[in-house]
A and B are shown apart, each in its own frame.
Chain A
Amino acid sequence: MASSSSHAPERSKVEQIVVEFFAKSLHIILESRIPALGGESDYLGSSASSSNSGPKTRDRWFNLALGDCTAALENFEPWRRSLSDPMVVDILLYNSSVIESKPSGPPVGTSEHLSWEKAGTSLEHEDSSMVNKPTTLERWTVQFDQRKRTNAFSSSQALKVASRVKQATGRDAGRLGSGETHEAQVDTKKEDAVSGLRLQKVGVDESRGKGEASLPAHVTEVSAVYKRTVIMLRSLYSTCRLLPAYRIFKMSSSSTNCCDFYLDYRMLSTVTPLTEHDNRDMSVFSFTPVETAFGRMSLSVQYRLSTSVIELRVVPSILPRIIPDYVGSPTTDPLKRFTGEPHSLPASGMCLGQGMHLIALRSSLQNSPPYPGLDRRHSWSGRIHQMQPALQPPSSPSYRISRSPSPSYPFHPSPPHTPSYSPLSCKQQCSDLSPSPITSPHSSADRHTGIGIKASQPISIDRHLSPPFSPSPSPSPPTLYRGSDPVSIPRPSQLRGSKLSLGDPHQRSSRNLLPPLSPSSRKAGVILRSSSESPRHSGHLLHALQSRSFESSSQLQTLHGDRCNQIWINEGPPYTSENSLLGQQTFSGSSSKTALGDDGEDDDFSCPFAVDDVDGEEKKGRDEAPGSSASSGSMQQRSPDAAVGALIRIINSAPPLRHSSHTAVEAEALMIGGVERNVDRTPRSASPEIRTRLSSTEFPDRKMAAEALEELQLYKNLRDLMLMRQDDVKLVSSGINASPG
């Protein structure tokens, strides 16, 4: 037998390898499980030359540079002194919401709170008043089984112990290498923890009863040991990222994390038995031990299965998911409402029920909505009169989808707003729509089932989809055009110019409420000004349109969509009227009048109109197109006031709006749409004078309004064409069905 002195240098080298193996293992485990320690890792440079500095030299061990590991190795000193005890690292999951109710300082498991005891005693938390019991996600066991000169067990006894261990541990998903070896190690941990008994089956030679150094030289050489250790640590690094707990680590360490949980760890020098509940949900993954001449380095992990981790229902704040009803999708109801701030609701704002409200333009302008992303391209073509029935309840398909695979999540706070949900969602809506995968309220039942990670949603697909809305600074979200404060109104009367208004003293007197045009602005058009006043003014404006003629000196500017706030109307005194435009609407308060010829109202009008190019309005207009066109043509021939009156008659004869709670805003929008159509039609039909005035005006956004009108007309034509085709198909099919008979 070789003298011990000849083995001394080799032994010291092996011991050093083992110590660094322990340290590196601890570093790899903690930096991939504890966010506070994982972020501190920093590479110490790529200097190839070995330096005498401790941290750099330690980082180069096993050719795996992970950066500074000072914080991770704070509690490693006992194992530096002695390798006789295993190093057990438990990764714990704490529910921070429980801790908040009972503040007790920093979470347990940080370096300053860790304590460990040797010789078979279990670790006890310093803070015994902690009510929140953690859940053990993983238990890593690193140990060095020193080879003794005499055998402790025979190979047969080792096999018997191994078989018992296999039954005790249940499903063993990670058994590697020779089964007897790993199962024996598990047996050490499970059954002989207190006594410190170590199973010493290390190879065939030992089973024959030989002493130390019976392994082949190529196995026990320092270089071979080091190489195998390098590979084992590489595997450890990869394994840490494949186990389910890494997902929780990523969530907890993300900058946008708002989960009610955090990860912590504790180090033990002995293997304390896990609870029965933890044991049941855990599996074992063992790495092939590295044999040395003086012992065996082994590494294994008990980890919570992914299915049980799913039960934990730990979800990130934002999950990528598919939004099937994104705005702009043909499958989405274009009238789908988005809520706004309650305080921003106008007095005459429409209550859509279920906590959803329309948002007025003025309020949006005032409050600069945080989610102005409703800049849908065709939002200005919404249907006001179809709003209420088409409104989607809070449990829309999008929410349903997001809700279905994930019942509840006890570790998540109040639901966050995501762009995909609703840019204008108010608090009410949020509370109504709380059962989303990231916003589900806590469930006591879920707490008892354990904690885990929510199963992956249609994440892989939403991962490739960008949020439907991007917050834009537009101050005029599309909902404005569905009945909120109107922002624009095309005034055909404005096209008439000063001649028409000045010629009628009656109209002049009734129009005195409207401020006169400035001499420099001899533009035929109406300028609508988005106002911060009550939208009920819009009702007054509408009424003014009904009963008053347009003021020829007013400027007319028609815009749609998000440009409506650029449309100005000469502000006149508010119009007070209780008349219902369509027999169902009432307007209260005061608003400025238009030049439509109403009498006597002196309220200042500052309410913008919504330029809602409603299809129903178009239909109404189309239904009465012949008459209206004729009337408009005749109006032009008669007088502008007559034309306006004809328009009013058309609008009055239109079918009532569906919903009884239509506000003045919506009625005005309808009216304005009708007026707009007539305005649009008017220049084309038989009004060269108006056309000239239009062309001669200088409206900064007339071009865009015209384009929008053209586009609208195009869409209407397309729809008519499709309807016609559909009718033709029906006719053909009916003809085919009839012919064989």
Chain B
Amino acid sequence: MNREVFHLSELELEQFQIREVLRCILHTIMFHRALGLVRPKDVGLELFDITYVQCGDRELERTIEEKIDSFVAWVEKHPNKKGQVCLSFYETRYKPAVWFSSKEERFYWEQWFISLTIIPSKPSQNKFRHGRALTLDSGETLIEERNRHDKVLEASLREVLFQILHLVNDKKDHIPPVSNSNIVSFPYEISISSLPDSSFRMDMLKRMLHTGPPTMPS
């Protein structure tokens, strides 16, 4: 069985936009991998004019919210760093061990890498966001700037969602057969990691070769 790794387009967003964006992307991916009986739930983003679909599985929603909280906490601890959220689907295989025991092994058949670049909020933007008094001219400038940034991010997010649709449609052969009647048909895990900086990429690659992919415990 093949393993498919999908790297979605990188998004630049501010910290207060992380939750909505991550929630949208993760639920969109899960909706296409939750092959059990679902009653889709349309959710409209508050920050953008985008509607995505959720499975309606509470367990899944709770898990995703926990991971989003973890990522936000990680971002707060590691400012000015690119973060990456990895949604992986795996199969549990039991590998026979030496002494009549079996070892559980996870075989990841699909991984989605969501790369986010957190933009530090500017003081003026903070001031505007908190609704402080502004002169009319500066207020209009900040409004226009904010509008531009939001439009760019909305277009990028929409592009990422279409990218997900392309990939889920295009690659179906690697999906294992459904073995249960749960809403979420396949076991999955969400991990958080940092995106290495370009200047330290080689060092990170060497480290990864020796120690494996870096993951932040959730």
Contact = CB atoms under 8 A, between A and B. Distances in A.
A330 interface: yes
B50 interface: yes
B64 interface: no
A175 to B, nearest CB: 9
Interface string A55-76: 0000010011110000000000
Contacts of A397: 136, 140
A231 B33 CA distance: 8
A63 B37 CA distance: 4
B217 to A, nearest CB: 31
Nearest to B27: A238
Nearest to A326: B131
Interface in A62-109: 63-66
Interface stretch (A162-170, A239-247, A421-429): A239-247
A238 B166 contact: no
Interface size class of B (residues with CB under 8 A): 35 or more
Interface in B15-50: 28, 31-32, 35-40, 42, 46-50
Interface stretch (B2-10, B76-84, B142-150, B204-212): B142-150
Given A241-B53, A401-B140, A459-B49, A64 B40 contact: yes
B101 interface: no
Among A219, A227, A465, the most chain B Cβ lie within 10 Å of the Cβ of: A227
Nearest to A332: B136
B151 A456 contact: yes
A135 B96 CA distance: 64
Interface in B105-130: none
Contacts of A63: 35-38
Given A235-B32, A460-B47, A463-B46, A331 B169 contact: no
A176 B37 contact: no
Among B134, B172, B173, the most chain A Cβ lie within 10 Å of the Cβ of: B172
A223 interface: yes
Interface in A16-66: 43, 46, 48, 60, 63-66
Contacts of A43: 39
Nearest to A223: B177
Contacts of A64: 37-38, 40
Among A60, A63, A176, A228, the most chain B Cβ lie within 10 Å of the Cβ of: A63
A318 interface: no
Contacts of B36: 63
A237 interface: yes
Contact of A235 (B37, B147, B168, B177): B168
Nearest to A65: B39
B216 interface: no
Interface size class of A (residues with CB under 8 A): 35 or more
A329 interface: yes
Interface string B65-81: 00000000000000000
A60 B38 CA distance: 9
Given A228-B172, A235-B165, A239-B165, A322 B52 contact: no
B31 A234 contact: yes
Interface string A278-293: 0000000001100000
Given A458-B143, A460-B147, A177 B170 contact: yes
Contact of A325 (B53, B136, B161): B136
A287 B36 CA distance: 21
A456 B48 CA distance: 9
Contacts of B202: none
A241 B144 CA distance: 27
A445 B50 CA distance: 30
Contact of B51 (A246, A325, A331, A401): A246
A430 interface: no
Given A63-B38, A241-B52, A232 B146 contact: no
Interface string A436-471: 000000000000000000001111110111000000
Contacts of A324: 134, 136, 139-140, 143
B38 A238 contact: no
Nearest to B155: A306
Contacts of B94: none
Given A227-B178, A461-B143, A463-B46, A237 B53 contact: yes
A231 B32 contact: yes
A457 B143 CA distance: 10
A440 B60 CA distance: 45
Contacts of B131: 465
B172 A238 contact: no
B23 to A, nearest CB: 15
A66 B37 CA distance: 11
Among B37, B151, B178, the most chain A Cβ lie within 10 Å of the Cβ of: B37
A60 B165 contact: no
Interface in A175-204: 176-177
Contacts of A239: 165
B190 to A, nearest CB: 20
Interface string A237-264: 1110110001100100000000000000
Interface in A540-583: none
A288 B172 CA distance: 10
B136 to A, nearest CB: 5
Nearest to B146: A461
Among B36, B139, B161, the most chain A Cβ lie within 10 Å of the Cβ of: B139
A230 B35 contact: yes
B172 A231 contact: yes
Contacts of A46: 39
A374 to B, nearest CB: 20
Nearest to B43: A241
B135 interface: yes
B162 to A, nearest CB: 7
B98 interface: no
A218 B50 CA distance: 37
A288 B165 CA distance: 10
B72 to A, nearest CB: 19
13 contacts: A63-B35, A63-B36, A64-B40, A66-B40, A174-B166, A235-B165, A235-B168, A242-B158, A397-B136, A401-B143, A458-B143, A460-B147, A461-B143
Interface of B: 28, 31-32, 35-40, 42, 46-53, 131, 133-136, 139-140, 143-144, 146-147, 150-151, 154, 158, 161-162, 165-166, 168-170, 172-173, 175, 177-178
Interface of A: 43, 46, 48, 60, 63-66, 174, 176-177, 218-219, 223, 227-228, 230-232, 234-235, 237-239, 241-242, 246-247, 250, 287-288, 322, 324-325, 329-331, 397, 401, 456-461, 463-465
Given A48-B37, A238-B32, 7 more contacts: A64-B40, A227-B178, A232-B169, A234-B31, A234-B168, A401-B140, A460-B147
3 nearest interchain CB pairs? Answer: A288-B169, A241-B51, A460-B150
